[in-house]
């Protein structure tokens, strides 16, 4: 698959709603007026642009889309995932890795822990999951900056740490990168299309050579660059996560309704503070001014005074007959337009917000503070939310395993030891956190741990402990301190008992010797 075919195949992959979803997520709730569903001027109407500009200025939005994406993302990768390495070969019951195998595992975990922390890979995963939720697709790309390559397009490192130090993780836009399938071979290739700082178009294609099994990286656009082949065990340096977008057309519709209700609520506040007045059949204050030429008098109204402490005198308009003779005066009236009760807009906004939560299976967030909701309804709502996380969790855990194994394989190749870690496979588990749980749910978690139905680590997560490893270390340290204190107390008690026994023996000898001493003295 050449670069033009790869770019064309990437462009053909649909991303419905991406532009709108990304704009909502990033805070653009106007979107050139296309996200406004309220009244608007007709197309081509004179002054229509000014009216739209005023609507945009007064737009009030609540970013519920970003909220639900962030809540879902936080439940899956809000906490540091649990990861490590184990053996590819199956272990028999009770069998442990050999000393050499365990040393290899320890070396891999220690080196990748440094990479995980220094490159802030956890934050990159969170960014990728957010993109996955609003776009339906996200990509991860492991790469070495071109400035760190030698003339042959390769990396030569002495140690594993040096090799990992040149690796970086990129989270490109979903329309820029992904996996495409070659119809001729049904093999997947990674594609990354980008624009350089000088405006040049580039396409990076990553594929596995069918004959040698090596991973090939080719960058085209202008002069074609070939990177040195890498023996990565058939892995690509680009990974893709895919699931149905969390933000559906229905969620967008509810978001626009929510923004409309918030905007109209603000407009209603303005109307409430600046009441509209309609004066009927009244002559405004003013005076008649005589024209110097025609000597005709014309009534010139004065501005109507408003505000506290003002007084306006209004007279009824004169009523004239056919000849122009005044036959009477109309009775003036003043009408006020009261604002609409705010409950109309609040109820609409609440209904739209709840509609969004229902659509994304996060109704538990709405009833968390509802005193009338039963414990069972909260449990069911939370269970529905946790079940909805499954599609995301499976993609993230697969991407996490790819990240760890590919980074380790690339580092081994850079040190001239390709395949050194082929006997290991990565484990990657999301620590799901669906939010604080009730006291009853905490009690249930403790009982399940005591009954052996849940592991201690899972139970810790259920009751809200974020860093389970640190907590277990604290518990172990406290237990060791308690044991030392018990041993110290036991030693002290035994010491006091020994002293007491020695004193009793001394007192007994003194009592036994007393008659003899008395007789001798007598």
Percentage of the residues of the chain whose pLDDT score is greater than 70: 89
Each residue's pLDDT tens digit, 105-141: 999 999 999 999 999 999 999 999 999 999 999 999 9
pLDDT at site 484: 79
Q: How many CB atoms lie within 10 A of CB 300?
A: 10
**What is the helix (H) or strand (E) element at residue 140, kind and residue range?**
strand 137-143
Each residue's pLDDT tens digit, 353-369: 999 999 999 999 887 65
For every residue of 447-496, DSSP letters joined together read HHHHTTSS-HHHHHHHTT-S-HHHHHHHHHHHHHHHHHHHHHHHHHHHHH
**What is the helix (H) or strand (E) element at residue 397, kind and residue range?**
helix 390-414
- Residue labelled with tokens 């009216």: 51
Residue 373 has pLDDT above 70, yes or no: no
Each residue's pLDDT tens digit, 96-107: 999 999 999 999
Q: 301-340 burial, b for 16+ CB within 10 Å, e for fewer?
A: eeeeeeeeeeeeeeeebeeeeeeeeeeeeeeeeeeeeebe
pLDDT band at 504 (very low <50, low <70, confident <90, very high): low
Those residues with Cβ within 8 angstroms of residue 173's Cβ, 6 or more apart along the chain or in another chain: 131
Those residues with Cβ within 8 angstroms of residue 14's Cβ, 6 or more apart along the chain or in another chain: none
Q: What is the mean pLDDT of residues 468-494?
A: 78
Those residues with Cβ within 8 angstroms of residue 411's Cβ, 6 or more apart along the chain or in another chain: 111, 157, 160, 163, 164, 167
Please state the three-class secondary structure of 416-427 as a single string.
Answer: CCCCCCCCEEEE
Tokens of 492: 């002290």
Q: What is the mean pLDDT of residues 137-153?
A: 94
- Residue labelled with tokens 């799901």: 432
Taking each helix axis from N to C end, the angle separating 249-273 and 48-58, rounded to the nearest 10 degrees, works out to: 90
By C-alpha distance, which of 36, 15, 63 is closest to 356? 63
Using an 8 Å Cβ cutoff, are 301 and 317 in contact? Answer: no
Residue 245 has pLDDT above 70, yes or no: yes
3-class SS of residue 104 = helix
pLDDT at site 486: 76
Our CA dihedral for 474, 478, 481, 482, rounded to 10 degrees, sits at -170
Instruction: Classify strands 201-208 and 215-220 as parallel, antiparallel or unpaired.
Output: antiparallel
Please state the three-class secondary structure of 210-242 as a single string.
Answer: CCCCCEEEEEECCCCEECCCECCCCCCCEEEEE
Can you tell me the distance from the alpha carbon of 122 to that of 469, in angstroms, rounded to the nearest whole number?
A: 17
Q: Phi first, then psi: what are they for 189, rounded to 5°? A: -130, 145
Q: Count of residues for the chain? A: 522
Residue 482 has pLDDT above 70, yes or no: yes
Question: Which range among 73-77, 220-224, 435-439, 517-521 shows the weakest confidence by mean pLDDT?
Answer: 517-521
Instruction: Classify strands 424-429 and 82-87 as parallel, antiparallel or unpaired.
Output: antiparallel
The secondary structure of the chain in percent helix, strand, coil, rounded to multiples of 5, reads: 50, 15, 35
Tokens of 316: 């009824």
Q: Phi first, then psi: what are they for 8, rounded to 5°? A: -65, -40
Can you tell me the distance from the alpha carbon of 382 to that of 432, in angstroms, rounded to the nearest whole number?
A: 12
Residue 418 has pLDDT above 80, yes or no: yes
Residue 419 has pLDDT above 90, yes or no: yes
Which residues make beta-bridge pairs with 169? 142
Q: What is the mean pLDDT of residues 315-332?
A: 83
By C-alpha distance, which of 230, 228, 231, 225 is closest to 202? 225
Can you tell me the distance from the alpha carbon of 262 to that of 245, in angstroms, rounded to the nearest whole number?
A: 26
pLDDT band at 381 (very low <50, low <70, confident <90, very high): confident
pLDDT at site 477: 84
Can you tell me the distance from the alpha carbon of 461 to that of 431, in angstroms, rounded to the nearest whole number?
A: 7
Q: Is the Cα dihedral 33, 35, 36, 40 positive or negative? A: positive
**In whole numbers, what is the pLDDT of the chain averaged over residues?**
87
Can you tell me the distance from the alpha carbon of 333 to that of 121, in angstroms, rounded to the nearest whole number?
A: 71
pLDDT at site 328: 84
Q: How far is CA 502 from the centre of its chain?
A: 71
Please classify residue 469 by burial: count the beta carbons closer than 10 Å to its beta carbon, then call 0-12 exposed, 13-18 middle and 19+ buried.
exposed
pLDDT band at 268 (very low <50, low <70, confident <90, very high): confident
Which residues make beta-bridge pairs with 300? 287
Tokens of 315: 């007279």
**What is the helix (H) or strand (E) element at residue 511, kind and residue range?**
helix 468-521
């Amino acid at each position: 698959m050449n670069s033009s075919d790869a770019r064309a195949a990437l462009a053909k992959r649909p991303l419905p709603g991406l532009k709108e979803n990304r704009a909502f997520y990033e805070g653009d709730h106007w979107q050139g007026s296309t996200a406004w569903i309220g009244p608007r001027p007709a197309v081509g109407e004179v002054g229509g642009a000014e009216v739209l500009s005023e609507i945009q200025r007064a737009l009030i939005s609540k970013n519920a889309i970003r909220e639900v994406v962030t809540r879902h993302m936080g439940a899956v990768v809000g906490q540091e995932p649990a990861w490590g390495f184990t053996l590819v070969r199956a272990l028999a019951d009770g069998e442990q890795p050999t000393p050499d195998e365990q040393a290899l595992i320890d070396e891999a975990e220690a080196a990748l822990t440094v990479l995980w922390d220094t490159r802030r890979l956890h934050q990159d995963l969170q960014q990728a999951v957010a993109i996955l939720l609003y776009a339906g697709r996200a990509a991860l790309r492991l790469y070495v900056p071109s400035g760190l390559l030698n003339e042959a397009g390769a990396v030569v490192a002495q140690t594993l740490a040096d090799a990992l130090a040149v690796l970086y993780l990129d989270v490109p836009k979903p329309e820029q990168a992904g996996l495409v399938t070659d119809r001729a071979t049904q093999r997947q290739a990674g594609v990354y299309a980008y624009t350089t700082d000088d405006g040049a178009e580039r396409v990076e294609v990553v594929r596995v050579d069918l004959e040698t099994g090596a991973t090939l990286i080719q960058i085209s656009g202008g002069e074609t660059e070939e990177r040195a082949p890498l023996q990565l065990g058939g892995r690509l340096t680009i990974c893709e996560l895919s699931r149905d977008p969390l933000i559906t057309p229905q969620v967008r519709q509810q978001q626009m309704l929510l923004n409309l209700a918030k905007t109209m609520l603000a407009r209603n506040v303005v109307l409430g503070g600046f009441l509209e007045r309609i004066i009927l059949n009244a002559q405004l204050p003013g005076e008649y001014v005589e024209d110097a030429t025609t000597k005709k008098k014309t009534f010139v109204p004065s501005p109507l005074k408003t505000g506290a402490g003002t007084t306006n005198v209004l007279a009824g308009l004169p009523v004239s007959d056919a000849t122009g003779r005044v036959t009477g005066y109309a009775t003036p009236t003043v009408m006020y337009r009261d604002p609409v009760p705010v409950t109309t807009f609040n109820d609409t906004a609440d209904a739209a917000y709840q509609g969004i939560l229902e659509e994304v299976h996060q109704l538990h967030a709405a009833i968390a503070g509802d005193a009338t909701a039963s414990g069972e309804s909260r449990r069911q709502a939370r269970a529905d939310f946790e079940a909805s996380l499954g599609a995301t969790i499976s993609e993230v855990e697969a991407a996490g395993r790819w990240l760890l194994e590919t980074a380790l394989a690339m580092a081994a190749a850079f040190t001239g030891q390709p395949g050194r870690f082929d006997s290991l496979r990565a484990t990657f588990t999301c620590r799901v956190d669906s939010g604080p749980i009730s006291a009853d749910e905490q009690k249930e978690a403790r009982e399940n741990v005591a009954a052996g139905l849940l592991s201690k680590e899972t139970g810790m997560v259920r009751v809200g402990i974020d860093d389970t490893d640190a907590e277990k270390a604290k518990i172990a340290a406290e237990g060791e301190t308690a044991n030392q204190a018990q041993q110290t107390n036991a030693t002290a008690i035994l010491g006091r008992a020994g002293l007491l026994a020695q004193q009793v023996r001394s007192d007994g000898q003194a009592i036994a010797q007393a008659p003899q001493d008395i007789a001798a003295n007598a």
